[in-house]
Amino acid sequence: MVDTALDSLPEPHRKTVVEVYFADRTAAAAAVTLKVPVGTVKSRLHYALRALRESAPALAA
């Protein structure tokens, strides 16, 4: 179920979620790895988590 939810995200959002939550990096460390500003990492996380929350009921059905 988690894989399906992650696969539904746009690639930049998916990579950001993986870097922060699965690779256990800070937003700053993920920004360096992804070569984007820290604000971009935070923004992508915000929108990715919102999309995951919204898709959770559909995936559980």
Domain boundaries, the chain: 2-60
Q: What is the tens place of the pLDDT at every residue in 17-52?
A: 999 999 999 999 999 999 999 999 999 999 999 999
pLDDT value, residue 1: 74
Q: Which residues contact 18 (CB under 8 A, 6 or more apart)?
A: 6
pTM of the model: 0.88
16 contacts 34 by C-beta, under 8 angstroms: yes
Closest residue by Cα to residue 9 from 40, 33, 56, 35: 56
Tokens 């919204």, located at residue: 54
Q: Is pLDDT above 80 for 6?
A: yes
Q: Is pLDDT above 70 for 61?
A: no
CATH number of 2-60: 1.10.10.10
Distance, CA of 12 to CA of 53 (rounded, Å): 18
